[in-house]
């Protein structure tokens, strides 16, 4: 098996090192499961030369701006454009890229009125090449998989990781193996993995079971694991925050709100914020808050019941299948970033998620259910006084509306919460429903429908 080393062929030696998040052990090599050889905890990537060179922050802003005028493949990537703060490549053409990143920051005027927070924005990661934020991490991790000489890459997934991994593996000439929970992910995501040529296994277990199996598999077979346990993934996902701050002209928002599943993305964004502060790119840290579905609330319970000291796992259940995760791998990293940024952690109900998703849809933007927890969570954080009306807030929308059409169609047809006893909730949901109508093909029928919609 090729070793996973930071001085692998094609990688600038000593450009980065692996550090254990618990015992702090530093190494140039990582095991196949990306866990510390001493204590078994997760690794993160650090850059010792940043300190030696007195910080890398000085000219970065203008370098990144200039690269936006370039037509080279590596500069057209909204991830590799920030390569100065990523593990180094020896040559630009080593990157496997689909022009990921470069995602828009939208204002949300209607949601701003609903929440009473006028300065409300959405960073839409669902507009990445495969429709989710995973592409930002995958371009980096897939690149390093190929540099380390692997033929096979693999992941456990609730759908989006597998779609992304399969695409980048195909682009990079590698084979991919997908482990997903049978019947618990959207067909739309599964169809992507199939089309991109992955070997797809629907396992009779949940996501947590798939991930457990993958961690054993990578110790036995020469496959490179591309879950967010892989620290290269998180390095790529950091760039969301770099790009966001650039879009805000380096004025940090007061709050950034993300959905929490396996907790890789919140960890990555938090790491980026701290790095930007340490390098002098921003003067203060936004508060990073994590929102979970009530039925998959391991981090919420970990903080409330164990003060963030040990993981409280749950048997996860939610219609937001992307975050149907009960045993989040990166929980410790997420606790660290919540502490570092003074963010909050909240949970939201299934009805709150559906309502928020329809409200984001009504802005002409749309997202998948897991992304909508951010707006639902914001409403709670406003009510609690944690977010003040005068503050600026960025919601990270992680997945595209088209990722889970069944959820959306069932919502609008009124089939999602059939028999829900809560009248208040039903009224709120009904006002957002736009069910399709089947009509005779006559002008009269269409005009009557128009008139009714006006009422």
Taking phi over 0 as left and psi of -120 to 50 as alpha, with beta for the rest, 308 belongs to left
Residue 370 as a binder of ligand F0G (CB under 6 A): the answer is: yes
The token pair at 250 is: 């380096």
Residue 262 as a binder of ligand F0G (CB under 6 A): the answer is: yes
Residue 401 as a binder of ligand F0G (CB under 6 A): the answer is: no
Residue 215 as a binder of ligand F0G (CB under 6 A): the answer is: no
Nearest residue (CB) to ligand F0G, 6 versus 371: 371
In the complex, minimum distance from the CB of residue 439 to ligand F0G, in angstroms, rounded to a whole number: 35
Residue 326 as a binder of ligand F0G (CB under 6 A): the answer is: no
Considering only the stretches 4-12, 29-37, 158-166, 382-390, report the one whose residues sit in contact with ligand F0G under the rule CB under 6 A.
158-166
Alpha helices in 48-88 (DSSP H): 48-52, 60-67, 73-76
In the complex, minimum distance from the CB of residue 322 to ligand F0G, in angstroms, rounded to a whole number: 3
In the complex, minimum distance from the CB of residue 352 to ligand F0G, in angstroms, rounded to a whole number: 16
Nearest residue (CB) to ligand F0G, 56 versus 229: 229
Q: Which residue of 261, 343, 361, 377 would you call a contact of ligand F0G, by CB under 6 A?
A: 261
Burial (CB < 10 A; 0-12, 13-18, 19+), residue 87, is buried
In the complex, minimum distance from the CB of residue 355 to ligand F0G, in angstroms, rounded to a whole number: 18
Using CA atoms, how far residue 21 sits from 36, 41, 295, 332, 341, in Å, is: 9, 7, 28, 8, 17
Considering only the stretches 33-41, 75-83, 246-254, 260-268, report the one whose residues sit in contact with ligand F0G under the rule CB under 6 A.
260-268
Query: Using an 8 Å Cβ cutoff, are 417 and 354 in contact?
Result: yes
In the complex, minimum distance from the CB of residue 2 to ligand F0G, in angstroms, rounded to a whole number: 25
Q: Which residue of 264, 286, 308, 361 would you call a contact of ligand F0G, by CB under 6 A?
A: 264
Nearest residue (CB) to ligand F0G, 17 versus 134: 134
Residue 368 as a binder of ligand F0G (CB under 6 A): the answer is: yes
In the complex, minimum distance from the CB of residue 398 to ligand F0G, in angstroms, rounded to a whole number: 3
Angle between helices 231-247 and 60-67 (to 10 degrees): 90
Give me the count of residues in the chain. Answer: 455
What single DSSP character describes residue 286? P
Of 379-398, binders to ligand F0G (CB under 6 A) are 398
Strands, DSSP E only, in 251-330?
255-259, 287-293
Q: Is 215 helix (H, G, I), strand (E, B) or coil?
A: helix
Residue 198 as a binder of ligand F0G (CB under 6 A): the answer is: no
Nearest residue (CB) to ligand F0G, 56 versus 210: 210
Nearest residue (CB) to ligand F0G, 32 versus 161: 161
Nearest residue (CB) to ligand F0G, 4 versus 226: 226
Considering only the stretches 21-29, 49-57, 159-167, 275-283, report the one whose residues sit in contact with ligand F0G under the rule CB under 6 A.
159-167
Residue 6 as a binder of ligand F0G (CB under 6 A): the answer is: no
What single DSSP character describes residue 441? S
Strands, DSSP E only, in 146-254?
152-156, 175-181, 199-203, 223-225
Residue 322 as a binder of ligand F0G (CB under 6 A): the answer is: yes
Considering only the stretches 19-27, 64-72, 246-254, 368-376, report the one whose residues sit in contact with ligand F0G under the rule CB under 6 A.
368-376
Considering only the stretches 152-160, 170-178, 192-200, 242-250, report the one whose residues sit in contact with ligand F0G under the rule CB under 6 A.
152-160
Q: Which residue of 157, 289, 347, 374 would you call a contact of ligand F0G, by CB under 6 A?
A: 157
Q: Which residue of 57, 87, 101, 399 would you call a contact of ligand F0G, by CB under 6 A?
A: 399
Give the pairing type, strands 26-27 and 17-20: antiparallel
Among 387, 395, 372, CA closest to 107: 395
d(CA 366, CA 361): 4
Which residues are CB-neighbours of 121 under 8 A, at least 6 positions away? 105, 106, 107, 108, 253, 392, 393, 394, 395
Nearest residue (CB) to ligand F0G, 108 versus 299: 299
Query: Using an 8 Å Cβ cutoff, are 154 and 214 in contact?
Result: yes
What single DSSP character describes residue 395? E
Residue 302 as a binder of ligand F0G (CB under 6 A): the answer is: no
Among 4, 1, 3, 2, CA closest to 230: 4
What single DSSP character describes residue 35? B
First to last CA, the chain: 67
Residue 323 as a binder of ligand F0G (CB under 6 A): the answer is: yes
Residues that bind ligand F0G (CB under 6 A): 132, 134, 157-161, 228, 259-266, 322-323, 368, 370-371, 398-399
């Amino acid at each position: 098996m090729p070793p996973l080393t930071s001085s692998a062929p094609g990688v600038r030696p000593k450009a980065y090192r692996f550090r254990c998040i618990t015992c702090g052990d530093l190494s140039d090599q990582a095991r196949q499961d990306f866990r510390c050889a001493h204590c078994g905890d997760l690794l993160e990537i650090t850059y010792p030369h940043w300190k030696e060179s007195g910080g890398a922050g000085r000219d970065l802003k203008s370098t990144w701006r200039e690269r936006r005028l370039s037509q080279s493949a590596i500069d057209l990537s909204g991830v590799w454009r920030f390569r100065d703060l990523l593990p180094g490549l020896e040559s630009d053409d080593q990157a496997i890229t689909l022009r990921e990143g470069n995602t828009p920051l939208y204002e949300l005027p209607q949601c701003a009125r609903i929440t009473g927070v006028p300065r409300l924005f959405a960073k839409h990661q669902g507009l990445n090449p495969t429709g989710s934020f995973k592409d930002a991490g995958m371009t980096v991790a897939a690149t390093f998989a190929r540099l380390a000489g692997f033929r096979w890459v693999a992941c456990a997934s609730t759908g989006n990781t597998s779609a992304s991994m399969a695409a980048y593996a195909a682009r990079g000439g590698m084979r991919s193996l997908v482990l997903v929970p049978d019947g618990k992910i959207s067909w739309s995501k599964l169809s992507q993995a199939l089309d991109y040529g992955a070997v797809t296994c629907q396992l009779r277990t949940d996501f947590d079971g798939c991930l457990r199996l993958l961690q054993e598999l990578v110790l036995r077979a020469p496959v490179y694991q591309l879950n967010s346990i892989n620290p290269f993934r998180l390095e790529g996902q950091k760039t969301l925050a770099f790009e966001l701050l650039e879009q805000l002209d380096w004025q940090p928002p007061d709050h950034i709100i993300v959905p929490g599943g396996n907790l890789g993305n919140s960890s990555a964004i938090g790491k980026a914020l701290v790095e930007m502060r340490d390098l002098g790119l921003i003067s203060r840290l936004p508060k990073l808050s994590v929102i979970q579905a009530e039925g998959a609330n391991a981090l919420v319970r970990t903080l409330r019941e164990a003060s963030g000291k040990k993981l409280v796992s749950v048997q996860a259940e939610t219609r937001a299948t992307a975050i149907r995760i009960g045993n989040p791998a990166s929980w410790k990293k997420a606790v660290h970033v919540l502490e570092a940024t003074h963010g909050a952690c909240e949970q939201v109900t299934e009805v709150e998620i559906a309502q928020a998703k329809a409200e984001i849809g009504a802005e002409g933007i749309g997202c998948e259910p897991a992304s909508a927890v951010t707006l639902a969570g914001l409403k709670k954080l406003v009510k609690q006084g944690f977010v003040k009306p005068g503050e600026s807030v960025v919601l990270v929308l992680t997945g595209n509306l088209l990722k889970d059409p069944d959820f959306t169609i069932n919502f609008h047809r009124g089939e999602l919460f059939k028999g829900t006893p809560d009248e208040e909730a039903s009224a709120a949901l009904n006002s957002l429903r736009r069910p399709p109508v089947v009509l005779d093909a006559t002008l009269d029928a269409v005009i009557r429908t128009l008139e009714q919609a006006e009422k």
